[in-house]
Amino acid sequence: MKRNVFTLIELLVVISIIVILVSMLLPALNKAREGARKISCKGNLKQMGLAENMYANDNAGWMIPYGKGAWGTLTWRSEPLYFPAYLGSKNFSKIVCCPQAFEVPKPSYGYNQELVGDSVLTPFHKLDKIPVKVVMLTDTAYTTSSGGAYWEGFLYSWWTGALSFRHFREINASHSDGHADSIFYNDITLDIIKPLN
């Protein structure tokens, strides 16, 4: 009676084929995972854009201020009257963190400082006066200054260091009408960061 037995060579060939197949599939799976994080991030920014619109509806059309005092007092992320009041305290810490931002578990979105005031140095803006194409909130880069955090805001003059193109060389952004979209690195222009008056 003859038994069918795998030889060691045949077993190694089968294992190597499986390894090759897995190595071919992993990049596609990683790309799909990053795509899911990008969609989740865009959802976060849409919620924040809608919260901005709700705040404006409750405050005669004015945007959420960047801070209460001079530029050193940055409170828009944590001030209870601003985003936490409209996003809810239960999910607030998840909504303000991009799932693709791995450096530290801290808020990773920044406010467009060209649009918002701090009541001392720059004027406040009304939401309905801002063109829809202008970015309000977006992915910001990690910085080691101030103990390590993400930029809280950005200006056109230094957006290259402050924005983080962590989604396939794109940023996700929310706009004045509440919608969110993705913007490719090469498509960043003055007119989508600074409203031209």
- Answer for the pair 135, 183: CB distance below 8 angstroms, yes or no: yes
- Answer for the pair 111, 152: CB distance below 8 angstroms, yes or no: yes
The pLDDT assigned to 16 comes to 93
The count of C-alpha atoms lying within 13 angstroms of the C-alpha of 20, restricted to the half-sphere facing its C-beta, is: 6
- Answer for the pair 3, 137: CB distance below 8 angstroms, yes or no: no
pLDDT digits (tens, 9 = 90+) for 39-65: 999 999 999 999 999 989 998 888 887
pLDDT digits (tens, 9 = 90+) for 93-104: 889 899 999 877
